[in-house]
Amino acid sequence: MSAEQLSRTDTGYEVMPCRDEDPELFFPLNEGTINAPSLQALAALAVCARCLVQDACLERALDYGEKIGVWGRTTGPQREHILQRRGR
Protein backbone atom coordinates (compact mmCIF):
# COMPACT_ATOMS: atom_id res chain seq x y z
CA MET A 1 0.00 0.00 0.00
CA SER A 2 1.39 3.41 -0.94
CA ALA A 3 1.72 6.43 1.37
CA GLU A 4 -1.04 8.18 -0.59
CA GLN A 5 -3.41 5.26 -0.17
CA LEU A 6 -2.63 5.07 3.53
CA SER A 7 -3.18 8.79 4.01
CA ARG A 8 -6.76 8.27 2.86
CA THR A 9 -7.50 5.75 5.58
CA ASP A 10 -7.91 6.08 9.31
CA THR A 11 -5.08 3.63 9.88
CA GLY A 12 -2.79 5.81 7.77
CA TYR A 13 -2.64 8.37 10.51
CA GLU A 14 -1.48 5.72 12.96
CA VAL A 15 1.44 4.53 10.84
CA MET A 16 2.69 7.98 9.76
CA PRO A 17 4.16 9.50 12.95
CA CYS A 18 4.74 12.89 11.28
CA ARG A 19 0.99 13.45 11.60
CA ASP A 20 1.51 14.00 15.31
CA GLU A 21 4.40 16.45 14.90
CA ASP A 22 4.70 20.15 14.09
CA PRO A 23 5.01 20.23 10.26
CA GLU A 24 7.75 22.87 10.56
CA LEU A 25 10.00 20.24 12.12
CA PHE A 26 10.29 18.67 8.66
CA PHE A 27 11.36 21.89 6.94
CA PRO A 28 14.56 23.07 8.64
CA LEU A 29 16.06 26.32 7.35
CA ASN A 30 19.36 24.45 7.28
CA GLU A 31 19.14 20.77 6.33
CA GLY A 32 22.87 20.20 6.64
CA THR A 33 24.87 18.08 4.22
CA ILE A 34 24.38 14.59 2.82
CA ASN A 35 26.47 12.99 5.57
CA ALA A 36 25.85 15.52 8.33
CA PRO A 37 22.19 16.58 8.59
CA SER A 38 21.46 19.53 10.86
CA LEU A 39 20.14 18.91 14.37
CA GLN A 40 16.58 19.78 13.33
CA ALA A 41 16.84 17.50 10.30
CA LEU A 42 18.11 14.71 12.55
CA ALA A 43 15.07 15.15 14.80
CA ALA A 44 12.75 14.86 11.79
CA LEU A 45 14.68 11.85 10.47
CA ALA A 46 14.20 10.18 13.86
CA VAL A 47 10.43 10.55 13.47
CA CYS A 48 10.60 9.04 9.98
CA ALA A 49 12.59 6.12 11.40
CA ARG A 50 9.40 5.02 13.22
CA CYS A 51 7.26 5.28 10.09
CA LEU A 52 5.82 2.21 8.40
CA VAL A 53 5.59 3.84 4.96
CA GLN A 54 8.99 5.52 4.74
CA ASP A 55 9.96 3.72 1.52
CA ALA A 56 6.75 4.77 -0.24
CA CYS A 57 7.15 8.30 1.15
CA LEU A 58 10.69 8.49 -0.24
CA GLU A 59 9.66 7.28 -3.69
CA ARG A 60 6.81 9.78 -3.79
CA ALA A 61 9.16 12.63 -2.81
CA LEU A 62 11.59 11.57 -5.55
CA ASP A 63 8.80 11.31 -8.13
CA TYR A 64 7.42 14.73 -7.20
CA GLY A 65 10.87 16.33 -7.15
CA GLU A 66 10.62 17.49 -3.54
CA LYS A 67 13.85 19.49 -3.19
CA ILE A 68 13.49 20.65 0.40
CA GLY A 69 12.32 19.15 3.63
CA VAL A 70 12.53 15.74 5.24
CA TRP A 71 10.54 13.09 3.40
CA GLY A 72 10.90 9.33 3.57
CA ARG A 73 13.75 9.48 6.07
CA THR A 74 15.89 11.67 3.78
CA THR A 75 16.83 15.33 3.57
CA GLY A 76 16.76 17.32 0.35
CA PRO A 77 20.53 16.94 -0.22
CA GLN A 78 20.27 13.19 0.38
CA ARG A 79 17.44 12.85 -2.19
CA GLU A 80 19.42 14.88 -4.69
CA HIS A 81 22.27 12.39 -4.21
CA ILE A 82 19.89 9.45 -4.73
CA LEU A 83 18.55 10.99 -7.93
CA GLN A 84 22.09 11.54 -9.21
CA ARG A 85 22.96 7.90 -8.48
CA ARG A 86 19.83 6.81 -10.36
CA GLY A 87 20.78 9.04 -13.28
CA ARG A 88 17.66 11.22 -13.01
71 vs 77, beta carbon nearer ligand SF4: 71
70 vs 87, beta carbon nearer ligand SF4: 70
- Give the separation between CA 25 and CA 61, rounded to whole angstroms: 17
From the CB of residue 60, how many other CB atoms can be counted at a distance below 10 Å? 16
Site for ligand SF4 in 38-77 (CB under 6 A): 47-48, 51, 53-54, 57, 71-73
Min dist. Cβ of residue 15 to ligand SF4 (A): 8
Q: Which of 50, 35, 42 is nearest to 70 (CA)?
A: 42
